[in-house]
Amino acid sequence: MTQPLLSRVAESVYWMSRYIERAENVARFISVNLMLMLDLPSGDANQWQPIIDTTGDAATFAERYGTANRENVIEFLAADPSNLNSIHSCVRAARENARSVRETISSEMWEQVNSLYLMLQEPRREALTFFHQVRMACHLFQGLTDSTMSHNEPWHFIRLGQALERADKSSRLLDVKYFILLPSVEDVGTPYDDVQWSAVLKSVSGFEMYRKRHGRIDPRRIVEFLVLDNDFPRAVRYCLGRADRNLHVITGSPAGEFACGAEQRLGLLRSELDYAPVDSIFSGGLHEFLDALQLKMNKIDECISGDFFARTENK
């Protein structure tokens, strides 16, 4: 399917892309939470733990930091080099992957990821400013990737990694909202609840697009928008559809067919979302649906590694 060199390159650009997307997501989650503190009556008490839960690192954080307050969470998610999902670690890993494939990516891409890495070594500035700069630097890298790199197989692996990372983070964010974020059932339908749901939309940069589509804040509509929408670029269905198209270009298999396990699993999951009414998602349990969705996406990632990366000589 792929030559050994392409397998090495594919793995590096795939993870380079996922790490940049992950860093951008973490910076956006924290930025939204900092703004949320200004609107909530409960202040700082209950709003930082969900950010940790979104990343899937709750156990590690509890062991090392204990209390989930503003200072601890920002340190853990932004600067902690021992946290593999911190912004610092993600950018460092993206830079190392980019360094190994400098002959494949454009010089502008390398300069941008290197600049972002060097920016993180500077003294920390005001929090909102810092996270905004990280987000903009990641967006610039993604824009440079699309505008300066040939749209060949390595580029499709980049897009594949980005799409799967986005789908995973959107599903995790929704799961946290429904299971953790709301402190009491008495708050459902109140202005407090609207602020929380607005924050969920802002956490995926979807507040304005949702309001244009649906108007008022409605949890059922928000779930439909973030899971099943086929136009919004951070909706799970949209991301998986894009990943499926990238994978078909890589393998060369016709639409509707599959040439590897990853392609088969991704096609099955995409079909499931294409015909999944939002009412059936709620009737079966949103948490259960999202949990199963995350497991299926993890399996797709494992299949991608086995189908394309595990054949390299150094694996």
Helix residue ranges, H only, 177-306: 191-203, 207-214, 219-223, 236-251, 261-274, 278-283, 286-304
Please report the beta strands in the chain, taking only residues with DSSP state E, as ranges in sequence order.
none
Q: Is the pLDDT of residue 6 over 80?
A: no
Q: What is the mean pLDDT of residues 295-309?
A: 95
Q: How far apart are CA 10 and CA 273, in angstroms?
A: 27
Fill in the DSSP letter of residue 217: -
Q: What is the pLDDT of residues 180-223, one digit of tens each?
A: 555 444 455 555 567 878 888 999 999 999 999 999 988 889 99
DSSP tag of 123: P
Q: Is the pLDDT of residue 2 over 50?
A: no
Q: Are 305 and 312 in contact (CB under 8 A)?
A: no
Contacts of residues 201-207 at CB distance under 8 Å and 24 or more positions apart, as own/partner, are: 201/225, 201/226, 202/32, 202/35, 203/28, 203/29, 203/32, 203/173, 204/28, 204/169, 204/170, 204/173, 204/234, 205/28, 205/234, 206/232, 206/234, 206/235
- Give the predicted TM-score (pTM) of the model: 0.90
Is the Cα dihedral 258, 223, 83, 100 positive or negative? positive
Q: Which of 24-33, 192-201, 229-238 has the lowest mean pLDDT?
A: 192-201
144-192 pLDDT, tens digit per residue, is 999 999 999 999 999 999 999 999 999 998 888 766 555 444 455 555 5
Say if 66 falls within a structural domain: yes
Q: Is the pLDDT of residue 87 over 80?
A: yes
Q: Is residue 158 part of a domain?
A: yes
Residue 312 has pLDDT above 50, yes or no: no
Residue 315 lies in a domain: no
**Residue 314 covered by a domain:** no
| Domain count within the chain | 1
Whether residue 45 has pLDDT greater than 90: no
Q: In which region does residue 43 sit, left (phi positive, over 0), alpha (psi from -120 to 50) or beta (all else)? A: left
- Which of 311, 314, 2, 304 has its CA nearest to residue 152? 2
Q: What is the pLDDT of residue 314?
A: 38
Residue 33: per-residue pLDDT:
87
Confirm if 3 and 11 have CB atoms less than 8 A apart.
no
Q: Which residue segment(s) compose the domain that 209 sits in?
A: 4-309
Mean pLDDT of 291-305: 96
- Give pLDDT, residue 190: 56
Within a domain: 42: yes
Mean pLDDT of the chain: 89
